[in-house]
Every structure is written in C-alpha cells, then in structure tokens.
Amino acid sequence: MHQRYRYQQDGRPAHRPAVLLITVEFDLVQRARHLTRTASPVIHSTLSALSLPAPAKLNRMLHITGQRPDGYHELQTLFQFLDHGDTLHFQLRDDDAITLTPAIDGVPEEANLIVRAARRLRETAVSYGKVAEASALPGVDIQIEKVLPMGGGLGGGSSDAATTLLALNHLWQLSLDEDTLAELGLELGADVPVFVRGFAAWAEGIGEKLMPAALDTPWFVVIHPGIEVSTPAVFGHPQLTRSSPAISMARALQGGRNDCEVVVSALYPAVADALNWLNHFGTARLTGTGACVFCAFDDARQASKVLGRLACERPTWHTFSARGCNISPLHAALAQA
Ligand SMILES: C[C@@](CO)(OP(=O)(O)O)[C@H](O)COP(=O)(O)OP(=O)(O)OC[C@H]1O[C@@H](n2ccc(N)nc2=O)[C@H](O)[C@@H]1O
Ligand SMILES: Nc1ncnc2c1ncn2[C@@H]1O[C@H](COP(=O)(O)OP(=O)(O)O)[C@@H](O)[C@H]1O
C-alpha cells in the first residue's frame, strides 16, 4: 500500500516553500528498515547517553531544472547515503547547558548546525507543549568526531544536524514525529530532511520533496581534492546550466549528470583534475556542488585497488572508499538504541 500525505510548514523562513509536499512510500521504507534492524551494529546507548553516526551522502546525479523568483534553484537529484561519516556522542547534563567539543575550525558555536539543531529542538519541545519551559529539559554535552570535509558536497553539516535532532528527540523522550523533525531540519538546510528521513531518495524542489528510491549499492571511491567549494558561488555563476528538462525518477535511475560539474571544474581546477583522474576507471561524478568526486565499483576489491593507485599517484588528495546504502546508517543504529 502506498500512502501519500501532505503537510503545511509553519514558522518557515520566507525563502522556503509555502507548502511542502512530501510523498513517502511507507511500505517500502518500513519494510527496508525492519530488515536493517537485525543487521546493524548498536554503537552505544544508555538512558542518558547515546552515540550515533552522521553519514555522508552522495548526489548520484543532479539536474537543475529552473530558478525560483527568490533565487533558489529547482533541482532533481538522487540522494544516497554512504557507510562512512562523522560520529556524534551525546551525554545529558545536570544543568541546561548545550556544549559542543571540539570546536570546528572556522565555524563559531552559534553557527554550528549541531548547536542550532539542539536549540531549535528544545524551542520546539516547548511550543509543542512537550515541556512547560526549555529549562525543564536537561542540557547535553555533544562530542563530535569530524571525518567529513566541509564544503565537500558530502552533506556533513546537514547530517550532523539530522543526527542531533534524532538523538535528542530520543534522549529527551519528546516523541516528535519524523514530519516535524524533517520540517525543523529544512529550516537548518536544504539537505537536512533527507538525513532525517533516512532513506535514499529522489528529490525535487530545492531538495525538500522526497520520494524513497531503491538504488543499486556499489562501492564508491571518493576523492576530496583538498579545496572547499562555495555553494553560493556555484549557484550564482552566470554560466550555470539552469534549464535541464525535468525527467522521471525511473529515467534518472538509469543515469544522469551533475549540472554543476562544468562550472565547478572551471572555477576549481583541482576538481577537474580529480574528475579526469577518476574517469579512467568508470564514470566520475561531482557530488552536490563539490568539491568531492566519486566513481562506482562493483566490489570492495576493485575500489581498494583504485585507492592504492591514488595513494601512489596523488598522495595529497584525501580519499576513501565506502558502500552506498539505501537505509541511512543513522536509522539502522537508532533502531537498536
Ligand atoms: C545543492 C546541494 C545538493 O545536495 O549541494 P551541496 O551543499 O550538497 O553541495 C544542496 O542541496 C545545497 O544545500 P545546502 O548546502 O544546505 O545549501 P543552503 O545552505 O540551503 O544554500 C546555500 C546557498 O546556495 C544557493 N542555493 C542553494 C540550494 C538551492 N537549491 N538553490 C540555491 O540557489 C542559495 O544562494 C543559498 O543561499
Ligand atoms: N557541524 C558542521 N559540520 C560541518 N559544517 C558545518 C557544521 N555546522 C555548520 N557548518 C557550515 O556548513 C558549511 C557546509 O558544510 P557541509 O555540510 O559539510 O558541506 P556540503 O554542504 O558541501 O556538503 C560549512 O562550510 C560550515 O560553514
């Protein structure tokens, strides 16, 4: 049975859409989650402490189909998770402070998506009548093991925010539903809802209209060529393709481009170099607005052979291999918490 529903987003920033149409094929998602439950490791969980992954994502393809009057671009993209990412540790406190360690270089605490997500969730708990006042909820010490590069197109900041929302919903026993958490997530960034939902997805709009997608799950070699790409600079570029024809998800599953690749390669020669290098082994793609590029392989052995060559030929690039997952490792771990 496929159930469709819509919800109205209240209190949204002005540039966000008035009505979000989120189509979720519950059956597919619930069945897949059930299967994952038995296969995933529990990272660490007690009544007052919880450790959870914040996985990376790839945009397996990304087409830009238009631009809204507010400047935001309309996309069609396939999101898939990787079994590789940051890890967050949460420990409730005796007072109501929210702390984050270590600080992330170049990101002040009040701008960090982890702290913003925690504060926003606490405000929402009050406005939804879950607690009388914010100070009724215990504070939390959050520790981050940051692995994902910033501005890499792997969605690290968005994933950290989603993990924080789900972890604190659990530890604070708020029982806020997934729709509410996805809506809160969208206020923090366009990519947060897919990490909250936890299922590989076909996304439209600015990434908020999500439809679960069952993608193949190859091993990927990912290269970060050592530079940070500015998302606004890419979206603001006059030469960016903004008029790709809209296609169906079925067609996208057969393959697609990343419309940002031409502009990003021109602005950042290191990205062009990484794409060229990886194109010798298959079809290399940019994820999001970069800077990371990736290529799919049928098995782990092939991927590690390519990693070995990279270590010899391009020792300055940061590289890793990881498997694509249709269920987020976050949801797999949370199912056992
Ligand atoms: C395009 C994607 C695909 O995954 O790129 P990556 O960030 O992952 O590389 C994301 O949706 C990005 O999402 P996110 O990184 O959260 O972008 P935001 O902070 O919301 O937007 C940064 C800026 O980029 C521009 N922007 C962003 C998204 C969009 N669909 N159209 C835009 O024009 C806007 O100028 C905005 O001010
Ligand atoms: N917890 C966080 N981790 C990473 N970046 C963060 C975080 N909080 C805020 N940011 C900001 O978000 C920007 C985008 O980071 P990130 O999501 O990792 O990249 P991308 O969107 O390219 O995948 C960073 O440049 C940084 O300024």
Q: Is the pLDDT of residue 240 over 90?
A: yes
Tell which atom from ligand 2 comes closest to the C-alpha of 160.
1
Which pLDDT band, with edges at 50, 70 and 90, does 87 fall under?
A: very high
Which pLDDT band, with edges at 50, 70 and 90, does 216 fall under?
A: very high
Identify whether 236 is part of a domain: yes
Phi and psi torsions of 92, nearest 5°: -65, 150
153: annotated binding-site residue? yes
Q: What is the mean pLDDT of residues 53-67?
A: 98
Query: How far out from the chain centre does Cα 144 lie?
Result: 16
Residue with tokens 């529990």: 42
Identify whether 297 is part of a domain: yes
Residue 288 to residue 258: CA distance in whole angstroms? 8
Identify whether 257 is part of a domain: yes
Ligand 2 contact, 112 CB (< 6 A): yes
Q: What is the mean pLDDT of residues 42-65?
A: 89
Residue 64 to residue 246: CA distance in whole angstroms? 9
Cβ burial, residue 155 (10 Å; 0-12/13-18/19+): buried
Query: Please, are residues 271 and 265 in contact by the beta-carbon 8 Å criterion?
Result: yes
pLDDT of residue 116: 98
Ligand 2 contact, 150 CB (< 6 A): yes
Task: Give this prediction's pTM.
Answer: 0.89
Tell which atom from ligand 1 comes closest to the C-alpha of 260.
1
Identify whether 55 is part of a domain: no
Identify whether 214 is part of a domain: no
pLDDT digits (tens, 9 = 90+) for 247-269: 999 999 998 999 999 999 999 99
17: annotated binding-site residue? no
Ligand 2 contact, 158 CB (< 6 A): yes
150: annotated binding-site residue? yes
324: annotated binding-site residue? no
Give the chain's domain count. Answer: 1
- Kindly state the DSSP code that residue 59 receives in the 8-state scheme: E
Identify whether 252 is part of a domain: yes
Ligand 2 contact, 55 CB (< 6 A): no
Q: Which of 84, 101, 150 to mutate to test the pocket of ligand 2 (most atoms within 8 A of CB)?
A: 150
Identify whether 5 is part of a domain: no
Identify whether 113 is part of a domain: no
pLDDT digits (tens, 9 = 90+) for 301-322: 999 999 999 999 999 999 999 9
Q: How remote is the CA of residue 170 from the centroid of ligand 1, in Å? A: 28
State which residues form the domain around 238. 219-325
Q: How remote is the CA of residue 150 from the centroid of ligand 1, in Å? A: 13
* Percent of the chain's residues with pLDDT above 90: 83
pLDDT of residue 26: 38
Ligand 2 contact, 113 CB (< 6 A): yes
CATH number, domain with residue 262:
3.30.70.890
Q: Is the pLDDT of residue 164 over 90?
A: yes
The complex scores an ipTM of 0.95
